[in-house]
Amino acid sequence: MDSSQSKSEVCFSNGKRVPVLETPQAGVLPEQIQAKALVLFLGNLDTTGDDENVQQDQLKRLFSQGFVKALSVAGTVIFDRAEDVGLARALGSCVEHRQQRPLLVCISDGARIIDQASKELDSEHDLFVCASEAGEKETQLAMAEAMADQSPDLPIIGLLRGGGDADKPSLQRVVRRGWPVITVTGSGGLADELGLMLEDKPKTIDDPVLGSSQFFCRLFKLTH
């Protein structure tokens, strides 16, 4: 994001002010992000067309399945993206009464922050990071890889809900790093496709990404 257009915080109608960080340089991590564990939300969590209350109930049920307790461990950082509509709101309501809560970091296109971002983004986030020109997904993964390179023993896990063909390269990149991925079956898209494959365990897979060697050894299934 151009420095002349930079914005140091997002001000929400509820009075909350959330800091905004510029795009990190390659291999450099913001000092505000100190993690003892990292969770990456993958896929596309936007259920546009669904009733908002239904969407929130679905997400809350997902988080209630042991995730809230696991994510509330001190030092846990969560990376999601601005396109993950409603996720932060659902997670925030589930952890609001807990003594420890994860640091929820949103990777967002700078234009969303400059142009009325507070109308699009969830105030439950603790920090916004401007995405590079390569996009939100690339920035999310680049930051995760930088954290892993600096702290090789850092536990990192991915959570895939929904998603599609555009998410396959990111998923493959995560798996090649040796990070486990939980696929939430019943959430549609790529997550359901992988869930079926995990059940059927086909001998051959035509997809050049999904059929790569050792791809499924890092995938685990959770029914939504």
* Residue ranges of domains in the chain, CATH in brackets: 3-223 (3.40.50.450)
Spatial contact of 191 and 183, defined as CB atoms under 8 Å apart: yes
Contact 81, 41 (CB under 8 A): yes
Q: Assess contact for 103 and 78: CB atoms under 8 A.
A: yes
Measured from the Cβ of residue 70, the count of other Cβ atoms closer than 10 Å reads: 14
Note the pLDDT of residue 209: 64
The DSSP call for residue 30 is -
Q: Kindly report which listed range (95-104, 121-130, 135-144, 173-182) carries the lowest average pLDDT score.
A: 95-104
Strands lying side by side in the sheet with 76-81: 9-11, 17-21, 127-130, 103-108, 76-81, 37-44, 156-162, 181-185, 219-223
What is the pLDDT averaged over residues 71-100? 70
CB 128 within 8 A of CB 30: no
CA separation for the pair 139, 141 (Å, rounded)? 5
Tokens for 148, please give them: 């892993």
Q: Is the pLDDT confidence value at 1 over 60?
A: no
Residue with the larger pLDDT of the pair 43 and 1: 43
